[in-house]
Structure 1
Amino acid sequence: MDSSPTSLFDSYEQEFHQLIDAVRTKLDGDAKNEQGGSVPEQRKAALRRVEMELDEADEMVSQMEIEIQGIPQSIKAQYQARLRTTKSELSRYKKLSKDLHSHFNRTDLLASSGSRVGSPISDDPYGNASDRSRLLSGTTVLEDGTRRLQESQRIALETEGQGAEILMNLRQQREQIENARDTLHTADNAIDRASGTLKKMIRRMYQQRVVTAAIIIVLVLLICIIIWEKLLR
């Protein structure tokens, strides 16, 4: 397995180009099918696949933006240029897909309006087959939007759970730090008391030494006086 700092970037870029090639093939096919008069449902299904592949390509670009942060500065400039080219290509195909989608919508609307001119009123609550097809297409788009919304909600709930867990860990760490601080404060007070006690003991020791020395001096003087008196007699 390639472990170079650019391997993931190159992999995402390769997947991006594969997706873009698939999008290009579908868009070119739609343009030819438009001249040949393809079925509207087939064109719309192809455009939906194009939109999904463009979303995947957009995800690849996002991954490339993340990976480029870890590329060494000596070669980072050329990879940034490749990333800019990739973004420009993605934007171009997004615009082409959007324009083609709008064009097909206008074409379908005009065709539907033309087919209704002079036609009798039908008892079908959904209108003609074209209206039913548009309804089915709208339902498909709605279901796809609902699925994406549910997926976003699931991701949001997972993110919220992870955030709550992180906050709990941070609170526990804060409590540990506060307990350690209190322990250090208690130990500091104990050291201060012990230091005061030692100072008092040292001061009393010096006082006892002074008293002992004074007693010895007095005793020596008394002995000298007694001996002096003995000698004089």
Structure 2
Amino acid sequence: MNNAPTALFDSYEQDFQQFIQTIGKKLEADDSNNERGDERKATLRRVDMELDEADEMVSQMEIEIQGIPQSIRAEYHTRLRTAKADLLRYKKLLKVQRAQVARSDLLGSSAQPFTSSDDPYGTNSDRARLLAGTSRLEDGTKRLQESQRIALETEDQGADILMNLRTQREQIEHARTTLQTADSSVDRATNTLKKMIRQMYKQRVVTAAIIIILVLLIGLILWSKFT
């Protein structure tokens, strides 16, 4: 596992680029104009969901950039701004294309002939709109479930991060206590050595004094014998 401070940012950025490439193909491809009616609406709904995922990736990138060292953070800020600009551009493009589809639907519905009210569903177009509404409801339910899943995953990740931080804090406190204990032991050992050194110097002085006294006594004895 890559433990570099930029690893998670790079991973989220890679996921974001994958979403953006897929979105760009659906919104900017030449064959997108060939899609009509419900087919194009379904494509735009999928693009909307993918933009939500891309937006989530950008949010994660904003969180991870806080842990990047200051020496290289400027580069990642630039990459984050580029990602935000791409995301905003495709959101605007999606809005424009949705308006175009809505206008096409409005023009198409106005061209439909008047139908009798004997048929509870009206024309086939009415049935198609009913099915499209059901499909949109299902898509909305799926998006809600996906949002709930992402929220739960984010909550789990947050809990794991808090647990790791708590463990690290306990380790730091334990290390600090150990260092304090070691410092106290070193101070005691230093004091003991100083006492031993002073005692050694005292013993040397006493020994030197005894030797001097003995030499003087021997000298006096020899002097008394010769005199």
Identity within the alignment, %: 21
- Give the equivalent residue in structure 1 for 2:167: 168
- Give the equivalent residue in structure 2 for 1:213: 212
Question: Which residue identity is paired with 2:98?
Answer: H
Find the aligned partners of 1:136 and 1:18 in 2 and give their Cα distance: 22
In our comparison, the structure showing a higher alpha carbon Rg is 1
User: How does 1:12-23 map onto structure 2 within 5 Å?
Assistant: 16-17=20-21, 19-23=23-27
- The CA deviation string for residues 188-212 of structure 1, in whole angstroms up to 9 with x for no partner, is 3112212212211221221221133
Give, in angstroms, the shift of residue 97 of structure 1: 1.0
Find the aligned partners of 1:192 and 1:168 in 2 and give their Cα distance: 36
User: How does 1:6-85 map onto structure 2 within 5 Å?
Assistant: 16-17=20-21, 19-25=23-29, 27-30=32-35, 33=36, 38=37, 41-55=38-52, 84=82
After superposition, the Cα gap between the structure-2 partners of 1:29 and 1:193, relative to the gap in structure 1 and judged at 3 Å, is same
After superposition, the Cα gap between the structure-2 partners of 1:64 and 1:217, relative to the gap in structure 1 and judged at 3 Å, is closer
Query: CA RMSD, aligned part only?
Result: 4.9
- The CA deviation string for residues 155-201 of structure 1, in whole angstroms up to 9 with x for no partner, is 32123213312430342243134213312321331122122122112
Give, in angstroms, the shift of residue 216 of structure 1: 2.3
Q: Runs of 5+ in structure 2 lacking a partner?
A: 1-10
- Give the equivalent residue in structure 1 for 2:6: none
Aligned counterpart in structure 2 of residue 101 of structure 1, from 91, 98, 102: 98
**TM score, norm. by length of structure 2:** 0.60
Moved more, 91-100 or 10-19: 10-19
Question: Which residue identity is paired with 1:200?
Answer: Q
After superposition, the Cα gap between the structure-2 partners of 1:192 and 1:143, relative to the gap in structure 1 and judged at 3 Å, is same
After superposition, the Cα gap between the structure-2 partners of 1:189 and 1:89, relative to the gap in structure 1 and judged at 3 Å, is closer
Find the aligned partners of 2:26 and 2:218 in 1 and give their Cα distance: 116
Give, in angstroms, the shift of residue 150 of structure 1: 1.6
SS in 2 for 1:181: helix
After superposition, the Cα gap between the structure-2 partners of 1:152 and 1:88, relative to the gap in structure 1 and judged at 3 Å, is same
SS in 1 for 2:215: helix
- Give the equivalent residue in structure 2 for 1:184: 183
**TM score, norm. by length of structure 1:** 0.59
Find the aligned partners of 1:177 and 1:155 in 2 and give their Cα distance: 32
Q: Runs of 5+ in structure 1 lacking a partner?
A: 1-7, 229-233
Find the aligned partners of 2:174 and 2:88 in 1 and give their Cα distance: 50
- Give the equivalent residue in structure 2 for 1:157: 156
Between the two proteins, the alignment pairs up a number of residues equal to 196
After superposition, the Cα gap between the structure-2 partners of 1:55 and 1:106, relative to the gap in structure 1 and judged at 3 Å, is same
Kindly indicate whether the alpha-carbon contact (under 8 Å) linking 2:27 and 2:93 is maintained by their aligned counterparts in 1.
no
Find the aligned partners of 1:157 and 1:12 in 2 and give their Cα distance: 21
